[in-house]
């Protein structure tokens, strides 16, 4: 076996496997190393399992309200073991698809733990046989992703204090779940548990949940969760976790200068994720870091020549599609080709009901950047498809430059927002104006019609909005 490669990719998540396939298509002899299951965190312990559980919880929640559509039935229930089995089935199907794609493109799949040595060498250790294999490559790409961040909180190691990794594999539900952290992970698990009828409480240190997103979206999501019975505490600092009565837990936190306690049967710590670089480098291999992340240049190359890094191990948005795009870009740079993807426009999505999506600048960000801003907004309760599907309140908001009319950003809270946002991403990347987007005929009745209304509202020309008072 020839162990010399043009590229060795470490990690088979959406950044790693995409980079490996693109490298193979560009003529590079490529190997990919994975110590766990092919597909990485996103497929096995992140995006796909979470969204699969959310799909089931959304259906269950909607079914309880189908009497509004004239549908009546008795005995509605769910089986968590069956929901988990369906999740596992989907993961397996996607994993098999990725393996087939890698093999079909001639990528060598190596199972084991990789340690990067000096002089572009990698030692592969196979846990099952204790075998060590030395590999060499012209280029090495680190795509090892991230792991849940667990802060030093007293009581964080108690039974039933869990991370998202743990919660995704449970076949039973906690009757009362307290979530430390109101970011995307926390909010999505709050949706799952509340829609399945559990009691949920969120403790968030910042002044609002989803603090990285547009303020109006954060407020609207909070309103939607509270409607489902979720209790939310903001500007709240967790002090410690205690063992409660009958196997329960108690979270002690400070809110508005008052120390409070909340009981729970399970506590989810969802305060973020950290770069997964533990034991990745052999002694003597010196790589420059940016805080806890690997530092890279615009070509995704680290301080060590021919050693690249992408995805959650570098600073930036921890998103699967961002990692995939970076993987393609890094490989193109290795091959001396021009980057084919605009990495400055990365949409963010939250799969609550209704869905959340944002891309480009918010209104506040555009003003800080010195733009003269013009906004348009369309409330989704006026959209026929939303009415037909019994959708919740939401909106599409567009940010445009008042001087050039170019689209700068968009924030969406509506059904299919995560699909619709791609239209705004395309507009921003290609420098399209509000008139360009308004010139498209969109079918009726669809959620997408609201795009026309929102962009036309930036010009004061929306048909299905009452005229603004002068």
3-class DSSP state of 338 = coil
State how far the Cα of 406 lies from the Cα of 435, in Å rounded to an integer.
9
State how far the Cα of 413 lies from the Cα of 152, in Å rounded to an integer.
35
Cβ of 86: how many Cβ atoms within 10 Å? Answer: 14
Check residue 445 and report its DSSP letter.
S
State how far the Cα of 29 lies from the Cα of 105, in Å rounded to an integer.
10
Partnered with residue 411 across adjacent β-strands are: 358, 397
Helices (DSSP H) in 160-268: which residue ranges? 164-168, 184-195, 215-227
**Beta strands of 285-405 (E only): which ranges?**
289-290, 293-294, 307-309, 348-350, 355-360, 373-379, 395-401
The per-residue b/e assignment along 111-130, b for 16 or more CB within 10 angstroms, e otherwise, is bbbbbbbeebbbebeeeeee
Q: What is the DSSP string of 75-113?
A: -----HHHHHHHHHHHHHHHHHHHHHHHHHTTPEEEESE
State how far the Cα of 124 lies from the Cα of 108, in Å rounded to an integer.
13
State how far the Cα of 398 lies from the Cα of 378, in Å rounded to an integer.
9
β-strand 293-294 against 289-290: which pairing, if any? Answer: antiparallel
The per-residue b/e assignment along 35-58, b for 16 or more CB within 10 angstroms, e otherwise, is bebbbbbbbbbbbbbbbbbbbbbb
Q: Phi, psi (5° rounding) for residue 367? A: -65, -40
3-class DSSP state of 409 = strand
Of 117, 47, 134, nearest to 304 by C-alpha is 117
List of residues 6+ apart from 127 with CB closer than 8 A: 35, 112, 113
3-class DSSP state of 262 = strand
Active-site residue set: 444
Of 245, 275, 283, 284, nearest to 261 by C-alpha is 245
Of 307, 272, 270, nearest to 292 by C-alpha is 272
What sign has the CA pseudo-torsion 88, 90, 93, 95?
negative
């Amino acid at each position: 076996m020839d162990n010399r490669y043009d590229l060795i990719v470490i990690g088979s998540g959406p950044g790693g496997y995409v980079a490996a396939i693109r490298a193979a298509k560009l003529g590079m002899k490529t190997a990919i190393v994975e110590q766990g299951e092919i597909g990485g965190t996103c497929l096995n312990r992140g995006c796909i399992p979470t969204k699969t559980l959310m799909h089931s919880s959304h259906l269950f929640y909607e079914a309880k309200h189908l009497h509004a559509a004239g549908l009546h039935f008795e005995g509605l229930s769910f089986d968590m073991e069956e929901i988990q089995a369906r999740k596992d089935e989907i993961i397996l199907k996607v994993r098999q698809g990725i393996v087939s794609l890698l093999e079909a493109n001639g990528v060598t799949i190596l199972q084991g733990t990789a340690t990067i040595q000096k002089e572009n060498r990698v030692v592969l250790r196979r846990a099952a046989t204790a075998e060590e294999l030395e590999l060499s490559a012209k280029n090495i790409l680190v795509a090892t992703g991230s792991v849940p961040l667990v802060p030093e909180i007293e009581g964080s190691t108690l039974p039933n204090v869990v991370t998202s990794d743990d919660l995704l594999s449970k076949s039973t539900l906690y009757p009362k779940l307290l979530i430390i952290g109101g970011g995307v992970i926390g909010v999505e698990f709050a949706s799952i548990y509340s829609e399945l009828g559990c009691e949920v409480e969120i403790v968030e240190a910042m002044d609002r949940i989803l603090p990285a997103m547009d303020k109006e979206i954060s407020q609207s999501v909070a309103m939607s969760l509270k409607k489902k019975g979720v209790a939310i505490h903001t500007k709240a600092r967790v002090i410690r976790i205690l063992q409660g009565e009958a196997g329960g837990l108690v979270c002690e936190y400070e809110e508005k200068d008052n120390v409070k306690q909340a009981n729970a049967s399970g506590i989810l710590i969802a305060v973020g994720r950290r770069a997964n670089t533990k034991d990745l480098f052999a002694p003597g291999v010196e790589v420059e870091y940016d805080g806890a992340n690997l530092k890279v240049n615009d070509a995704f190359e680290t301080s060590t020549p021919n050693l690249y890094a992408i995805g959650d191990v570098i600073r930036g948005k921890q998103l699967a599609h961002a990692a995939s795009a970076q993987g393609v870009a890094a490989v193109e740079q290795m091959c001396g080709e021009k980057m084919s993807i605009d990495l400055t426009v990365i949409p963010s999505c939250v799969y609550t009901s209704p869905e959340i999506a944002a891309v480009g600048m918010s209104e506040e960000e555009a003003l800080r950047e010195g733009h003269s801003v013009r906004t348009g907004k369309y409330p989704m309760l006026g959209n026929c498809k939303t009415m037909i599907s019994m959708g919740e309140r939401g909106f599409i908001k567009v940010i445009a430059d008042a001087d050039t009319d170019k689209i700068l950003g968009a924030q969406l809270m509506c059904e299919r927002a995560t699909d619709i946002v791609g239209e705004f991403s395309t507009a921003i990347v290609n420098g399209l104006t509000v008139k360009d987007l308004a010139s498209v005929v969109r079918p009726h009745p669809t959620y997408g019609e609201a795009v026309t209304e929102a962009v036309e509202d930036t010009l004061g020309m929306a048909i299905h909005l009452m005229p603004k008072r002068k």
